[in-house]
Amino acid sequence: MGESWINQLVIERLRGRLVALYGSTYALSQLAGPLLLGVIGTEADYGFWIGVVLLVGSPFLLLGRTGAPSTESCNVTLSDLSGFCRGMPAIAWAVALFAAFEALILTLLPLYCIRHGFTPQIALIMVSVVVVGDALLQLPIGMLADRISRRAMFTGCAALLLISSLLVPLLIDTALIWPLWPVFGASAGGLFTLSLILIGERYRDDLLVRANAHVAQLWGIGCLLGPLIAGAGSQWVSGEALPLMMAAGAFGLLMLIRRRGAFGDSQAAPA
């Protein structure tokens, strides 16, 4: 519901930066959890109780708030998801691709780095650099999306993800991998942020809630299939399966963007 509420409330000229701020906060929260555990330790159960307090207390922040999208009780089926994917294929592909990316970064990227000779500590730092790059660069992406074509930005992020994914195997053993990691993370995160922005400018109220329910479904599919495909590829095809899979996904997205109606209308998407 968070994405729906934000997209419902924001005014159009600020949609990009406010949705991007939400994306940055989400990414930083993911990083904050492990960092907090590193500070308080895992011997006691303090981490668990901090999570309980946040989970129980956060709904009280919504008391007295208004502006949530109005919606009726409904079921969102797989056939509805299929219709959403046919109606906005570029958005659907981008959401699933970013979900796969996020799952891969948190699960297989440390192993990928260790396989290339880095220590576990350095591998975890590399993961953190990817996440921080994603978080810190979302706001500039959102600000640009309020000034220039959002579809052009979407295409640019897909192209940048393709290029950065192909560069990872080439630069992994050099110092240039460090500035590449934030670009890698930001280009993938930008696709998700821009997907939410494009959904928000198209839908309202019940349709907006349904669209974000489909985003959640696609997220689950991407998180499930991404590590399975990349893990199997690493085992049986190539040790570079992780970046090559992301490159293939970005290339497929670029091809999809070229189709008429890729963003849910009858006009050709910008090249």
Query: Which CATH number belongs to the domain containing residue 88 in this structure?
Result: 1.20.1250.20
What tokens were used for 230? 């990349």
Q: Name the band, by pLDDT with cuts 50, 70 and 90, for residue 9.
A: low
pLDDT more than 70, % of the chain: 87
Residue 68: per-residue pLDDT = 54
Q: Are 93 and 254 in contact (CB under 8 A)?
A: no
Residue 265 lies in a domain: no
Please indicate whether residue 102 or residue 44 has the higher confidence score (pLDDT).
102
Residue 67: per-residue pLDDT = 55
Q: Stretch 15-36: mean pLDDT, rounded?
A: 80
Local structure of residue 147 (DSSP, 8 states) = T
Rounded to an integer, what distance in angstroms lies between the CA atom of residue 271 and that of residue 151? Answer: 9
Name the burial class of residue 35, with classes exposed (0-12), middle (13-18) and buried (19+) by CB atoms within 10 angstroms of its CB.
Answer: exposed
Q: How many CB atoms lie within 10 A of CB 236?
A: 8
Is the pLDDT assigned to residue 248 strictly greater than 80?
A: yes
168-177: buried (b, 16+ CB within 10 Å) or exposed (e) per residue?
Answer: bbebbeeeeb
Query: Cα dist. 44→30, 33, 36, 48, 53 in Å?
Result: 21, 15, 13, 9, 16
Please indicate whether residue 143 or residue 205 has the higher confidence score (pLDDT).
143
Residue 53 lies in a domain: yes
Q: Name the band, by pLDDT with cuts 50, 70 and 90, for residue 160.
A: very high
Rounded to an integer, what distance in angstroms lies between the CA atom of residue 190 and that of residue 141? Answer: 7
Q: Which amino acid is located at 55 in the chain? A: L
Is the pLDDT assigned to residue 266 strictly greater than 60?
A: no
Using alpha carbons only, how large is the chain's radius of gyration in Å? 19
Dihedral angle sign, alpha carbons of residues 226, 82, 91, 161: positive
pLDDT digits (tens, 9 = 90+) for 82-92: 888 888 899 99
Rounded to an integer, what distance in angstroms lies between the CA atom of residue 203 and that of residue 109? Answer: 35
Residue 271: per-residue pLDDT = 31
Residue 173 lies in a domain: yes
Q: Name the band, by pLDDT with cuts 50, 70 and 90, for residue 259.
A: confident
Question: Which residues form the domain of 159?
Answer: 2-257
Is the pLDDT assigned to residue 242 strictly greater than 60?
A: yes
Is the pLDDT assigned to residue 153 strictly greater than 50?
A: yes
What tokens were used for 143? 């600000």
Residue 269 lies in a domain: no
Is the pLDDT assigned to residue 69 strictly greater than 70?
A: no
Is the pLDDT assigned to residue 148 strictly greater than 80?
A: yes
Q: How many domains does the chain fold into?
A: 1
Helix H segments across the chain?
2-9, 15-40, 46-57, 78-87, 89-107, 109-115, 120-145, 150-171, 177-202, 205-236, 241-257
What tokens were used for 78? 């797989």
Q: Name the band, by pLDDT with cuts 50, 70 and 90, for residue 245.
A: very high
What tokens were used for 196? 């939410």
Is the pLDDT assigned to residue 151 strictly greater than 50?
A: yes
Rounded to an integer, what distance in angstroms lies between the CA atom of residue 240 and that of residue 159? Answer: 19
Q: Which residues contact 80 (CB under 8 A, 6 or more apart)?
A: 210, 214
Residue 261: per-residue pLDDT = 81
Is the pLDDT assigned to residue 100 strictly greater than 60?
A: yes
Per the prediction, the chain carries an average pLDDT of: 83
